[in-house]
A and B are shown apart, each in its own frame.
Chain A
Amino acid sequence: MSEPYRLDARGLHYRELNRRVREAVARGETRFELRNVNGQRYLADGLTGSLEFDIYGVPGNDLGAFMSGPTIRVHGNAQDAVANTMDAGRIIVHGHAGDVLGYGMRGGELFVRGDVGYRVGIHMKAFRDRLPVIVVGGVAGDFLAEYMAGGLIVVLGLEPRSRPELVGDWCATGMHGGEVFLRGEVDPRRVAGQFALAAPAGPEDMERLRPHLEAFAQAFSLDPEGLTEARFTRIAPLSHRPYGAKYAA
């Protein structure tokens, strides 16, 4: 395995940092180590192929936006808009991440070890084998899975939990596709009842869920059994057409 291409991001503006990365990609580099990152935005945006990034520090907003293929490991917290409209690839955050993650995500995986913020997984979409997946080790804020059209979101609430509840309010509002799994129970008042139904996950559901739990466990060196043997609640849409009655025919 060749040496990764190393970049010290200290004091670099994002435009310069990303330009150097793009040039290195054009030269054939495939593995990258970015150190002393603090707030630089748009890292790996629009990149395709089997590239790998290890980021040390706090990457700025829109990490991996419009990305299709690469793997990114963040050794620290991430900010907002990670995996924005991501098409394929994998992003692993060894910390917390912010708001509006995975907006319009259409493939690939986002694994966050800690908590995530508001509006995570808005309008995720899937088609046949293109399945976007978000797995959260901690808890999530309001508006999780808003207007979800497809894909999979899992919230694990691993101890020590920062808050008792796994999700905030207005969870699954506008949901019309996809599914959300919570490790444990949810107060039904937090789930948008006119769109989605929360019920205990059944054996077939767990079969579908297992490989994602195992992948998450592996990414963070956790014991998968603690995850796969737990009891999950599954939130699924009531209808693929929740607004059907809203407009006068």
Chain B
Amino acid sequence: MTTTSTGGDGERARPAATAPRAVRAPLYRPPEFRWEHDPERCARCKRCLQQCGFRAISWQDGPVADPALCVGCHRCEAFCPQQAITIRPNPQYLRPHSLWSEAHRRNLWLQAETGGVLLTGMGNDLPYPILWDHLLLDACQVTNPSIDPLREPMELRTHLGAAPDRLEVAWEGGRPELRTEMPPVLELETPIVFAAMSYGSISLHAQKALAMAAEECGILWNTGEGGLHADLRPYAHRAFVQCASGRFGVTPEYLQAGAAIEIKIGQGAKPGIGGHLPGEKVSQQVSETRMIPAGSDALSPAPQHDIYSIEDLRQLIYALKEATAYQKPVSVKIAAVHNVAAIASGIVRAGADIIYLDGFRGGTGAAPTVIRDHLGIPIEIAVAVVDQQLREEGIRQRASIIAAGGIRSSADAAKAIALGADAVAIGTGALLALGCTLCQKCYTGRCSWGIATQDPALTRRLDPYLGSLRLANLIRAWSAELEEILGAMGLNAIESLRGSRERLRGLGLDRATLDILGVKPAGVGA
């Protein structure tokens, strides 16, 4: 056995900057967007030139855009003081084809050119059915009055964590005293939390905005798998600190600092594969926080390497509980997949206090397009089957359920809660509040809005304080709407809606889906 270099004929191989690549073979790919400019309105202020993060605009006695580089983020359009810019989809001059959509053709051309796996950002954008849009909530009338949400108390306070099966209360001379030791719990003022978005996938400013808003609104944010930057340490007490397969930033201090610890097994945008932070976004600071070489791709392993079977998950849950002396609830985050009910049951029996279910519409900073668009199941179904499974097994109270993956409004949230979730998490919704326009180019690190980037020239555009105001506004607005919904339904406490499928009706859903959701069709009474 000899030691040789990797050169087959004994020649010492030269370390390359990157590994050998597929040979690029360009072909013409039509631009996705048209950048339209009205020179009459243009004030030649050059603001569009400054604002474009994708270097699509250059200056030749006026702005000139290379449409091939335009990703449709609309930053220039938003910031043009003269409204002289319009971004439109490039008209479909390609001959229409019901099977070979324009998207399919574009993707295939890109792959023929590069030999690469297609990447994308945010959540699944394909026209799969949206079950929220086939579910309607009940309202009270005549036989049971609605409650006035504007003036009557409405309680949205929510607790996340294990609850005991029953309480032991002692009567000492007529005074009751609680004997049961209550497990650790999280308290939210409203049943909404911010989804996990790592420092790396989003900018420090964006994370600060989330942390400040969580503090302001009495809810929680989530560090995601990128560790906890020192600037965010003051907000850790309102955070889920994540322990993901890359184990970035996981120290005893980190575990102690958080309100709860979340084991990330998977996420809805990429079931079965790990976190993906392209090298473009691994800045010096990200490198330091994650302890990986700057510029390297942070491709978290798909499995956590110490979890290959359900008893291993229990092992990690209890290692974390022992390491924090059982002071913190432990959450386990999984993607919604076909066997999610059995998996969730196993997770609860393994000792998790919270299960975070991420449906197939969940967002991401980067994922292979094919994975994002074709794997997983809807959160509506996942919540329904998990809640039902746990109830059938008599273990529903051992863990709370957080539902995530395409929660677009307070209506979606209310429906998720009616199906059985204790709370919902919002990721895409939160980023939209910060200015995101859903151009799906997060993986490039060029986000013009300063959200999904580490470039200081871009991140400084996002003021954390203003961002936190917008996020807090969103939470406040949705909470107010939840109160309206509860009042209309004759309820004044969110726990009376939770799991109450009786208050939902399905419209245009087939029998099998209705059965799985545990929901009656519209028209059927009590």
The residues of B that contact A197 with a CB separation of less than 8 Å are 5-6, 13, 15
Task: State the CA gap A100–B250 with chains docked (Å).
Answer: 17
- With A241-B279, A241-B296, A248-B117 as contacts: A125 and B3 at CB distance below 8 Å: no
Contact across chains for B117 and A246 when beta carbons are under 8 A apart: yes
Task: State the CA gap A18–B321 with chains docked (Å).
Answer: 11
Segment with Cβ contacts to A, from B287-295, B424-432, B461-469: B287-295
Contact across chains for A248 and B315 when beta carbons are under 8 A apart: no
Task: Please give the distance in Å from B71's CB to the nearest CB on chain A.
Answer: 13
Task: Please give the distance in Å from B25's CB to the nearest CB on chain A.
Answer: 12
- With A66-B251, A87-B251, A104-B246 as contacts: A188 and B4 at CB distance below 8 Å: yes
- With A81-B315, A100-B306, A245-B116 as contacts: A66 and B255 at CB distance below 8 Å: yes
Contact across chains for A193 and B6 when beta carbons are under 8 A apart: yes
Task: State the CA gap A48–B3 with chains docked (Å).
Answer: 42
Asked if B94 lies at the interface with its beta carbon under 8 angstroms from chain A, I say no
Task: State the CA gap A80–B315 with chains docked (Å).
Answer: 11
The answer, among B111, B243, B297, B315, for a CB contact under 8 Å with A243, is B297
The proximity string for A residues 83-106 relative to B, scoring 1 for CB distances below 8 Å and 0 otherwise, is: 011010000000000001001101
Task: Please give the distance in Å from B197's CB to the nearest CB on chain A.
Answer: 20
Task: Please give the distance in Å from B299's CB to the nearest CB on chain A.
Answer: 6
The residues of B that contact A87 with a CB separation of less than 8 Å are 251-252
A 147-203 contacts with B by CB, 8 A: 147, 149-150, 165, 174, 176-177, 185-188, 193-195, 197-200
The residues of B that contact A239 with a CB separation of less than 8 Å are 15-19
Q: Which of A18, A177, A187, A241 has the most B CB atoms < 10 Å from its CB?
A: A241
Task: State the CA gap A70–B135 with chains docked (Å).
Answer: 56
Task: State the CA gap A243–B251 with chains docked (Å).
Answer: 28
Contact across chains for B18 and A245 when beta carbons are under 8 A apart: yes
User: Chain B: which residue is nearest A198 at the CB level?
Assistant: B3
How many A residues have CB within 8 A of the partner chain? 64
Task: State the CA gap A193–B116 with chains docked (Å).
Answer: 20
Segment with Cβ contacts to B, from A2-10, A39-47, A134-142, A211-219: A39-47
- With A67-B252, A81-B306, A104-B247 as contacts: A245 and B3 at CB distance below 8 Å: no
Asked if A77 lies at the interface with its beta carbon under 8 angstroms from chain B, I say no
The answer, among A125, A147, A245, for a CB contact under 8 Å with B290, is A125
Contact across chains for B3 and A177 when beta carbons are under 8 A apart: no
The residues of B that contact A245 with a CB separation of less than 8 Å are 18-22, 115-116
The answer, among B3, B113, B323, for a CB contact under 8 Å with A188, is B3
- With A48-B252, A186-B1, A198-B3 as contacts: A247 and B318 at CB distance below 8 Å: no
The answer, among A45, A81, A123, A185, for a CB contact under 8 Å with B301, is A123
Contact across chains for B18 and A244 when beta carbons are under 8 A apart: yes
A 1-29 contacts with B by CB, 8 A: 14-15, 18, 22
The residues of A that contact B293 with a CB separation of less than 8 Å are 149-150, 176-177, 240
The residues of A that contact B325 with a CB separation of less than 8 Å are 22, 46
Task: Please give the distance in Å from A84's CB to the nearest CB on chain B.
Answer: 6
Contact across chains for A46 and B324 when beta carbons are under 8 A apart: yes
B 80-115 contacts with A by CB, 8 A: 110-111, 113-115
Contact across chains for B116 and A247 when beta carbons are under 8 A apart: yes
User: How many residue pairs between the two chains, A and B, have CB atoms under 8 Å in the bound complex?
Assistant: 189
Task: State the CA gap A72–B458 with chains docked (Å).
Answer: 47
Contact across chains for B322 and A247 when beta carbons are under 8 A apart: no
The residues of B that contact A193 with a CB separation of less than 8 Å are 6
Asked if B320 lies at the interface with its beta carbon under 8 angstroms from chain A, I say yes
Task: Please give the distance in Å from B442's CB to the nearest CB on chain A.
Answer: 13
Asked if A113 lies at the interface with its beta carbon under 8 angstroms from chain B, I say no
The answer, among B19, B21, B301, for a CB contact under 8 Å with A122, is B301
Asked if B319 lies at the interface with its beta carbon under 8 angstroms from chain A, I say yes
The residues of A that contact B305 with a CB separation of less than 8 Å are 100, 103, 119, 122-123, 146
Asked if B2 lies at the interface with its beta carbon under 8 angstroms from chain A, I say yes
Asked if B516 lies at the interface with its beta carbon under 8 angstroms from chain A, I say no
Asked if B119 lies at the interface with its beta carbon under 8 angstroms from chain A, I say yes
Asked if A133 lies at the interface with its beta carbon under 8 angstroms from chain B, I say no
Chain B binding site: helix, strand, loop or mixed by DSSP? Answer: loop
User: Chain A: which residue is nearest B369 at the CB level?
Assistant: A248
Q: Which of A41, A233, A238, A247 has the most B CB atoms < 10 Å from its CB?
A: A247
B 185-244 contacts with A by CB, 8 A: 243
User: Chain B: which residue is nearest A14 at the CB level?
Assistant: B322
Contact across chains for A149 and B116 when beta carbons are under 8 A apart: no
Task: Please give the distance in Å from A46's CB to the nearest CB on chain B.
Answer: 3
The answer, among B4, B115, B301, B322, for a CB contact under 8 Å with A42, is B322
Asked if B118 lies at the interface with its beta carbon under 8 angstroms from chain A, I say yes
The residues of A that contact B20 with a CB separation of less than 8 Å are 194, 245
Contact across chains for B12 and A199 when beta carbons are under 8 A apart: yes
B 429-488 contacts with A by CB, 8 A: none
The residues of B that contact A80 with a CB separation of less than 8 Å are 306
The proximity string for B residues 1-35 relative to A, scoring 1 for CB distances below 8 Å and 0 otherwise, is: 11111100000110111111110000000000000
Contact across chains for A65 and B22 when beta carbons are under 8 A apart: no
Asked if A68 lies at the interface with its beta carbon under 8 angstroms from chain B, I say yes
B 296-318 contacts with A by CB, 8 A: 296-297, 299, 301, 305-306, 315-316, 318
The residues of A that contact B266 with a CB separation of less than 8 Å are none
Task: Please give the distance in Å from A188's CB to the nearest CB on chain B.
Answer: 5
Task: Please give the distance in Å from A17's CB to the nearest CB on chain B.
Answer: 10
Task: State the CA gap A41–B321 with chains docked (Å).
Answer: 12
The residues of B that contact A185 with a CB separation of less than 8 Å are 1-3
Task: State the CA gap A67–B6 with chains docked (Å).
Answer: 38
The residues of A that contact B3 with a CB separation of less than 8 Å are 185-186, 188, 198-200, 233
User: Chain A: which residue is nearest B6 at the CB level?
Assistant: A193
Contact across chains for A177 and B252 when beta carbons are under 8 A apart: no
Asked if B278 lies at the interface with its beta carbon under 8 angstroms from chain A, I say yes
Asked if A116 lies at the interface with its beta carbon under 8 angstroms from chain B, I say no
The residues of B that contact A122 with a CB separation of less than 8 Å are 301, 305
Task: State the CA gap A122–B113 with chains docked (Å).
Answer: 34
Asked if A242 lies at the interface with its beta carbon under 8 angstroms from chain B, I say yes
Task: Please give the distance in Å from A37's CB to the nearest CB on chain B.
Answer: 15
The residues of A that contact B12 with a CB separation of less than 8 Å are 199
Task: Please give the distance in Å from B196's CB to the nearest CB on chain A.
Answer: 18
Contact across chains for A66 and B116 when beta carbons are under 8 A apart: no
Interchain residue pairs with CB less than 8 A apart (18):
A42-B318, A45-B319, A62-B306, A62-B319, A66-B319, A81-B319, A87-B251, A106-B251, A125-B247, A127-B291, A147-B299, A198-B6, A233-B3, A238-B19, A241-B296, A241-B297, A244-B21, A247-B116
Known contacts A68-B251, A100-B306; 12 further A-B pairs (Cβ under 8 A): A14-B322, A45-B319, A149-B293, A174-B299, A198-B5, A198-B6, A240-B293, A241-B17, A241-B296, A241-B297, A244-B18, A245-B18
Which 10 pairs from chain A and chain B are nearest by CB? A46-B323, A104-B247, A248-B116, A245-B21, A125-B291, A244-B18, A42-B322, A45-B323, A248-B114, A193-B6
